Structures are given as C-alpha cells and as structure tokens.
Structure 1
C-alpha cells in the first residue's frame, strides 16, 4: 500500500498509513517502509522528519540501503550541511553499503552547489577507480559544474571521456557545453560548431538548445544570426519560446531597432495568446527609452488586464521611462503603488527614483530619499552614492560632496566617470567665481 501511494505521488498519505501500521502490535516497519517514508518526506520538504526517521531506523537495528543514504545526502546538501553529507558518505562505506551511481551524482551535484568544484572532480576520479560506471546524468552534472566555474577545458575533457566510458552524450550534455562556452566568453563560432556537431552525431536539438544559442548570439551582438535561429526553430515546429523572444527583443531595443523589437513582441503575443511578465518589462523599458511613454503605459495596463501581474522589472521599466520624461512625481507615486500591490521594490527601483530627484528635484529631495534608504533594509550601492555625489557637485555643495567621497571610500565604492566629470565641472565653476572676484589674479 505504501509503495502504491508513493508510485501515485500521494506522499502526504504515506505517513498516515505508517502511523496506522505502528499502532498495530504485530506489524513493525522494515527497511522498505523507512525507505518509502524518508523518500516521501524528502519530496514534501519535511527534512527534519526524514532525518528523524533515518536515525529511528538505525536505532531499531535496521541497515539503511544505498537509496536511503542517497536521499539523506541530498537533504543534507540542500540544508547546506556539507560536512554532515560527507560524513554520511563515509559512514555508508564503513557500513559496507557501496555507493551507487546515484549516490555519486548527489555528491558531485551537492559539492558543486557548495562551490567545492575540486572536491566534486575528485569524487568523479574516485568513482572511476572504484569501478563505478558513470551515467549521462552524472557526467552532465559534472560538465555543468565545471562550466559554471569557467573551467571550460576541463568540461570538454569530461565530454571527450564519455565515449571511452561507453556513456553517450544526450541533448542536455550538448546544451550544457554550449551554454558554458557562451558564459566563458569563448568565440561564438565555437558554440555554433558544437551545435553543428550535435546534429551530425544524431542528437536532435531541443527548444532549450535554440534558446541558449539565441540568447548567446544576442549577447555577442550577432542579432541577425539569432533571428535566423528563431526562424529555424519555428520551421522545426517548436512552440514559441518567450525566453528566446525576450533576448531578441532586448537586443533589438539596445540597437535602437524599436519597430523590429515591437514586431517580434506582437508576433509572440499572436502565437502564444499572451506574453510573460519579463518580455512585457523589456518592451516597456525600450518604449520608455525611445520616448514612447504612452505606449509603455498602455503595455503596463495591458499586462494587468490579461492577468499577467507586473513584477519588479516591469515596474522599474515604467518608472525609468517616467523619469526619462521628467515625470518624477508620477514615478514616485508608482513606487508607492508597487508596494501597495505587494510587489517589493528592489535597490534598482529606489535608484531610478533617486536619479530622477537628483536630476530635476534639487539636492534636498534626493538627500531625503538617500537618508531614508540608509535607514531601511535597502542598502545603497555604488550607483546610489555616485548619483548623490553628482547631485551635490552640480549644486556646488563641495564640502558635502567631499564628506560623501570619504564615506564612499570607507565602504569600498569607486567613483564613476560621470561623477568625476560632475566634480571637476563644479570645481571649475568655483574657480571661475574666485577668478572674477579677485580681478583675474587666478588661483589653483
């Protein structure tokens, strides 16, 4: 009954049956029972209960299976208890329970997430010595970990080892390598060659493959290539991918090809019936940048009508457009509306408003907001400080600017080029005033 409930995904009912079982005087849980219960609690996120049952079964003289140990390993890694996970792996060996490929996969994945990439790589080397045959899932995890760490040569080395281990790469393997190549800023031609290689080897690209390539080509300013891939994706019969459209719309917007971006946006809506909050946010941002604020507001309202709740990116995009149009009070009001609607503003939200106040509202309102930020959960960053520093410089408040520069320095923030320009301009104005008041005698 417990195994049937597990198979059908009724994890919450497994515990009810276990309690009923325990109330029977002559029916005691065995290893199979504990395995099902620990697995069920793991899937329900009830980690403490899973750990308690693990200890209980050992106290009852039962020996955990490799599957149970592996489930507990995953739980400890999820909780950030890396050393406890490694101790458990050691205990497993000491108790004569050989780790399976699934155990090694959890160890490699967990160590990778903890940033211990060398240890994850060492686990892989160790499993080969012990004669355990890795499967494609383990290899994909290891390639992913090495790729994210920027160790692209090691990642490709693992890929090349797969054939000698009789482990056939799948679409996920190729996707992982292609993504790692883009993230390591390798030439885009390398990613393109891997795409061709996977097709030659009979691996059919997935929707995610195209999405990775489109995003990567957009980020390397090869928008035309990305557009061709979008067409190819459509020809292959894949459903429209909002992530791929989002990358392209953003790239076209950055290139000031606003009409082309809008055409793609409309195409996505026609094909999907609606669009994601992130795609709306990108389009709103670019409408704001090119001065089409009315269109940006219309899109924002359209989102809400379609039941697509604006997220922090959509609010930030519209507020940024309002600030560009010198509608500072309207942008400030939208910040309050955002909070009232349960969408928590981030640091960027506050920096957008602060930038508007600093540019048009004079130093007082900007300083007031800056002070509130410092006394709230929103910690000012380098952008915040540079915005205020520029505002003080433009207002000729050089003593206050000097104090703020010291504060920035103590916090490890650097001045940007715009800030330097503002300070030098302000100093120049003061110098001109001194020259004229001293009859042109000049001073440095």
Structure 2
C-alpha cells in the first residue's frame, strides 16, 4: 500500500500530527522536509489538498494576529472561532495577546470569552494555562467590579497546581485601591507574606497610595519599615508617594532621610529614575515643610546637574514662586518668574495669581494690573481669588477706584472679545474694591451691567457691597433704600436666595459707625413702615428729633431694630461698633436705645469688651454717674466674662476726670491698690490726669506728681537693657515692686501741661523738664 501510494511513513506521521493540532509552523516545516523530491502521480492530489488546508489555517492565524494588532476584538473573536472550527492551531504568545485585548475592554461578556480561551488552551491546543493567562482573567473581573470572583480565581489556580504570583496579587490590590477598600487591601498584602509571595515596589506603591488617601499615616510608616526590612528598592513612584506623605504630615525627620538618600544616589550617579513629579515633591518639601528657602533654591539651581534628564515644568516654578512669597521674598519670586518665561514655559492661572500677589506685596499695583492684563490677553481665566486679591489691593494701596475700574474694564473687553466671564464671587470682589472708598456710581454701574443686563444672579454679598459703597460715599438715604428693598424680598419670599443674616448687619452697622460725617447732617426721613415698635422706640420718636442725632447712628439703630424683628441675634461686634460711634458723636438718644436693647436681649450676654464700650460711650457723652453705676456692677460680678480689666480701669478713671467726679477716683484707686490689682502705665496715666483735673488748686497736681515719683518705676535705660538680658542680672531699683509699671514720657508731659494751666511756678516746671530729660534724654 505504501509503495502503491508512493508516500513514505514519515509523511503519514505528519498527517497524524496535523489532526492532533500540531502548530502550523511545525507542520509546515515537517511537511517541507518530508516531501519526496519527485512524488508519484497518485500522491499529488492528496498532497495538494492537505497543503491547501495548512495554508488556510496559517492564513487564519495571520489574520488573528493582524486583528489583535489593530485592537479589533470583535474580528479577533470571529477568527478565533473559525480557527477552532477548522481545527487550526494558535501558539501561546498569540493566545496571551488575545486575552490581554479582551481583558481591557468594558464589555462584561468578554469575561466568558476569556474563560473559554483558558479552557481551550489545554483541551484543544494541548498546552496548559500559565499564571499570566489567569492574571488577564483577574484583571477583567476587577475591571467589572467582580472582586470576589477575582479572588476565587486564586483558589482555582491553586487547584490546578498553579501558584498566584506577585502580578496576580498586585492586580487585585489595584482594584481594592480603586474601591478605596483599605481593609481588604491590607489583608491581601499580609496574605502575600503568609503565602511566601515576594512583594515588590508596585505592591508597596499601591498600598502607600491607598493609605495616604485615607490619612492612615502610621500604617504607611509601618509598611515603609517592612519594605526597608525586605530590602526592596524603591522606585521613582515610591519616593514620590512617600514625599507626598511627608509633605502632608510635615514629618521633617522622615523627609530629610529620604531627601539625603535621593541626593546621595544622584551625586554618586546611581540608578535613580527621578522624574519631574519627584523633583516637585522635593522642592515642596524643602520650601513648605522645612521652610528652608535657601535649601529649596539650592536644589533648584543644581537640579539640571543632579537630574540631567529632568525638565522642570510649570508646577515646579509654581512651587518655587509660592514658597518665595510665603517666606516673604517677593523679589526672588519675581526673578524666578522671569527665568520661567525665559526657558519657554507658559504660566498658568496659579503662576499669574502668585506673581500678582508678589507685585502687590512689593507695592507695585500697576505692575500687578499689567500682569493681570497679560493673563487675560492669553485667554487664561482669572480665578475669584486673583480678582479678589487684585481688587482689594488696588482699593487699599491706591485708595481710589481707578485701578479697580481698570480691572473691570479689562474684564468687560475680554468678555466682548473672547467671551471671558467671571463668576459672581469675582464680580463681588470688584464691587468690594469699589466700595472701599465709596465709589458708589462705579459700583452701581457695575451692578447694572453685570447683574441686570448680563443676567448674573446677585447674592447677599453683592447687595452688601453695593450698600457699603453708598454708605462710604455718604449717601445714607440711598443705601437704606437698597436695604429696604432686599429686606422686603426677604420678608415676602422665604425661599428667596437673598437671605438676611448677622454678617450683613455686622458689615452695614460697622460701615455706618465708621463712615465719616455726612455732608447733609439732617436726619434721614423714616416712615412707620421702616421702624417697627419693639417697646424701645418708634417712628414718631425719630421723626420728632431736633436733628441732634447723627444720621448714620439712626440708620444703624434702625438695623438693630430690624434684627430683633427678623429674630437675627446681634453679636458683640454689632454692639461695640454702634456704642463706639455713640461715644464719638456724643449721641445720648441712640446710646440709651442701644443700652435698652442690650438689657432686653435675653440671648446676648455682654462681655467685658462690650461693657467697656458702653462705659466709654457714656463717659464721652458726659454721663459719669452712669459710668460709675456700670463700674460698680462689674466689680461686684463673679462672672469671669465680665471681670474688669486694665481698659475698664482707665475708662472709669478718665470718666471721673472729665465729668467732675475726681473726688471719687481716689476711692477707686485705693480699692484697686488694696486688692493688688495689676495696674499698667495707662492706668497710672489716667489716674494722674484725673488728679490734675480734680481740683482747681494745685492740691491734685501735687498728689499726681507724688504718685508719678513714688509709685512708678523709672524707664529702663536703652544701654542697660541688652546687658540685663545677656547677664540675666536684676534690673535697677530692685527695692521697688517689680510689678509697678515704668513711667512714660507721656506721664511727665501730662504733669507739665497741667502745671502750666494751674500756674505752677516756673522753677517747678523747669524741674519737671529736667526730670524728663534725665529719664528720656
């Protein structure tokens, strides 16, 4: 039979191997080596048929490879099925590539395809799967959030005699990181150690990142010690994540150790794959954590030598600029900014914001505006913080609205040209800048253009800034009209975005009480609709006034009453602000009303600062008896929040002196001295002035001079002070009580002034002048 067909036995073996899935490349080689040089005529048809089949299988294999290279999974799956149907062959490398392609897709149906291919590897292609193929299955399961099933693959591998490797664990560990499942991640890392799986740098990088995200710093330190003990070399990502931990926690000791390690390796030209991200973390550590400006700048200067492959980016320069600014070196920040531009890097919004801050700190507002113009011209959207900083700086530094108006004009032009728009907070910042010096017309123009014409929705901050601009422009009636408008909306529309709160009233009352006197001193017109009777005052009271009350105070009092109506609790600042203004304007009417409100306020407990403001207001208004009544209440109080302080003492003594109650000051002073109250120089100055005012004769003056000479310590000589601090020696006049305050030049000037008014002989005045020269030069 063999002789009749002309086919040798080794050719039959090749045919048998083809039917048993011998790889095509091997089949082709065996057939080529076994074919007779001159086959018999009867063997040619059969050989041609088999050759066509082999060529077809080889073509399918080539098509599959091409489909995988094109990342066309659908076509690759179709060709794979044709290969199975035609009894074709695929090598291990091709199968691994196919599994890698299937594992990275988002279609969950491909998980079943991966399982089928892994099963086919042994049953059809006669080579068992390896851990790499199972890792692809684990990756696919994790990609579709099937972590429990992915963990079960580990058990399946062990059942087949395969041990999951470090890549198997790292794949599942990475999935736990994406889920932010710290407990399972730590459990899996510990399982690696129990099963003898050598952990690598990637393992620790994943767990470090997860622990940092959850602020588990101590656990991160523990794993770092394990990594060091296992002698696992950190890679660039390890160092980066470790420095992120250092920079977040401020662990200078750990940071310095890591910093020295990296620099030593770089100087010795060891294999440290440092990248820009790591260099940025190093700069941040030296600048923000260690606050070592010189060290940071030294690293910046040597970075091209230490890390020749690293190029600093915009983030690098932003760190440098921000640190220079925080460490009060704006000049250096501006120089680094120039270097950044010179190397061809484009500044971003962070860069511009920082350099604008630097210009402001250097006092160059025009330069800051120029940088702002450059930023907007390049199409970089200015943030709310930048506009706020620039607007406030221009208002405070220039003390006019021209610079703020300039910023607003730039924003308007860019809005028209490139559609640049700011958010409400940024426009509020511009309004705030205009309100500082009372540029009400410009503020109103901005409000109408942005919030009326452009359709931006104003919030309570918008209206607050607008009202303040009118207050500071001494246009109280118009300011109150705007306030009444938003109050009406607050009352009618409870769900309105405009909600009056204590911050609004605090700012408005502060502005009213700090604003200069208005040009029109007539009282503003109030109606019964604007004043609500709360058994304190009413509209008729205000309308019947004889123009003695200051318009600003009446407006502030109206706001106070509205707060009660709206059940908005005034804070201590509201009370002290209006009380201070009452004292400045000597307005007894408003002062008495505020005092009544304070007594009726069941939810407000005045502290010492509020009582001091109340006493000072009454003292300036000529009501010394009322001051003494409040004083007696305070010294009898056992509450720590209302205990008297040095300011209280000076106020009551000043009140006695200015309001003809100097004879009572001696009793107050004696009580303080008997109770060993710690008196300061201001208290002595107030008492000495009070004594001088207490009598028309020189008797009070003589007592005041004795107090200054006998109860106050001389000033410390300037040339003795460094000696005392360096030698730790005792100060001069050790026989005197060290708690006694030192005399001031103001004290002697007070004595000289009153001595001249009382006609004290020139020889005594000259003696006081000589004494002052002796003490103060």
**What is the TM-score of this pair, normalised by structure 2?**
0.45
2:373 aligned partner: 231
Match of 1:257 among 383, 386, 400: 400
Q: CA 1:89–1:22 in structure 2 vs 1: closer, same or farther (change >3 Å)?
A: closer
Alpha-carbon distance, 1:152 to partner: 0.6
Q: Distance in 1 between matches of 2:661 and 2:299?
A: 69
Following superposition of structure 1 onto structure 2, how do residues 3-82 of structure 1 map, counting pairs within 5 Å? 14=143, 16-22=145-151, 26=156, 31-82=166-217
Q: Which residue in 2 is equivalent to 1:276?
A: 423
Q: How does 1:202-221 map to 2 (within 5 A)?
A: 202-221=344-363
Residue-by-residue CA offset, 1:305-350 (whole Å, 9 max, x unaligned): 73687689987874454121354664897899999xxxxx9xxx95
Q: Distance in 2 between matches of 1:201 and 1:51?
A: 45
CA contact (8 A) 2:276 2:311 kept: yes
3-state DSSP of counterpart to 1:86: helix
Deviation at 1:42, TM superposition (A): 3.5
SS of residue matched to 1:226: helix
Question: Where does the alignment leave 5 or more consecutive residues of structure 2 unmatched?
Answer: 1-101, 107-138, 159-163, 466-500, 513-554, 583-592, 619-626, 665-693, 705-777
Q: Which residue of 1 aligns with 2:662?
A: 435
CA distance in 2, matches of 1:84, 1:246: 41
Q: Which residue of 2 aligns with 1:120?
A: 255
Q: Deviations over 1:73-125 (max 9, x none)?
A: 23334444433322211211222421111111222221222122243122111
Instruction: Give the equivalent residue in structure 1 for 2:279.
Output: 139
Q: Which residue of 1 aligns with 2:220?
A: 85
1:185 Cα deviation from its structure 2 partner = 1.0
The RMSD of aligned alpha carbons is: 4.8
CA contact (8 A) 2:235 2:273 kept: no
| Residue of structure 2 equivalent to 1:180 | 323
Aligned counterparts of 1:96 and 1:336: Cα–Cα separation in 2: 72
Q: CA deviation at 1:31?
A: 3.9
1:192 Cα deviation from its structure 2 partner: 2.0
1:394/1:426 contact within 8 Å kept:
no
Q: Does 1:162 align with 2:303?
A: yes
Whole-angstrom distance in 2 between the partners of 1:327 and 1:76: 54
1:322 aligns with 2:508: yes
SS at structure 2 position matched to 1:106: helix
User: How do residues 313-392 of structure 1 correspond to structure 2 at under 5 angstroms?
Assistant: 318-323=504-509, 324-325=511-512, 326-327=555-556, 330=559, 353=574, 355-356=576-577, 358-359=579-580, 362=594, 386=609, 389-392=612-615
CA distance in 2, matches of 1:240, 1:317: 27
Question: Counterparts of 2:577 and 2:288 in 1: how far apart (Å)?
Answer: 37
Q: Structure 1's 34 and 321: CA in aligned 2 closer, same or farther, altered over 3 A? A: same
Residues 167-202 of structure 1: CA deviation (Å, up to 9, x unaligned): 33222222211221111112x332222122222233
Flag the 1:280–1:430 CA change in 2: closer, same or farther, 3 A. Answer: farther
Structure 1 distance, partners of 2:141, 2:436, is 51
The Cα of 1:38 is off from its aligned counterpart by: 3.6
TM-score (norm 1): 0.73
Contact kept, 8 Å, 2:313 with 2:345, in 1: the verdict is yes
Give deviations 1:121-142, integer Å, cap 9, x for gaps.
2211123445434322122122
CA distance in 2, matches of 1:213, 1:175: 9
Look up the SS of the partner of 1:64 in the other structure.
coil
Residue equivalent to 1:379: none
Distance apart, 1:405 and its partner CA: 13
CA separation of 1:18 and 1:194: change in aligned 2, threshold 3 A: same
Alpha-carbon shift at residue 434 of structure 1 (Å):
1.8
Compared with structure 1, are the counterparts of its residues 153 and 439 closer, same or farther at alpha carbon in structure 2 (3 Å cutoff)? closer
The counterpart of 2:650, out of the listed 412, 417, 424, is 424
User: Which residue of 367, 388, 392 corresponds with 1:246?
Assistant: 388
SS in 2 for 1:163: helix
Q: Match for residue 478 of structure 2?
A: none
Q: Is the 8 Å Cα contact of residues 394 and 423 (structure 1) preserved in structure 2?
A: no
Q: Which residue of 1 aligns with 2:489?
A: none
Instruction: From the superposition, tell whether residues 203 and 280 of structure 1 become closer, same or farther in structure 2 (CA, over 3 Å).
Output: closer
The CA distance in 1 between the partners of 2:297 and 2:602, in whole Å, is 48
Q: Which one has a bigger Cα radius of gyration?
A: 2
Higher relative contact order (CA 8 A, sep 6+): 1
For the structure 1 residues 264 and 350, does the alpha-carbon distance in structure 2 shift closer, same or farther, using more than 3 Å as the test? Answer: farther
Change in CA separation of 1:202 and 1:274 when aligned onto 2, cut-off 3 Å = closer
Q: Which runs of 5+ in 1 are unaligned?
A: 340-344, 375-383
Change (3 A) 1:81 1:388: farther
Q: Please give the alpha-carbon distance, in whole angstroms, between the structure 1 residues aligned to 2:141 and 2:651.
A: 68
User: 1-side partners of 2:637 and 2:242: how far apart?
Assistant: 48
Compared with structure 1, are the counterparts of its residues 436 and 128 closer, same or farther at alpha carbon in structure 2 (3 Å cutoff)? closer
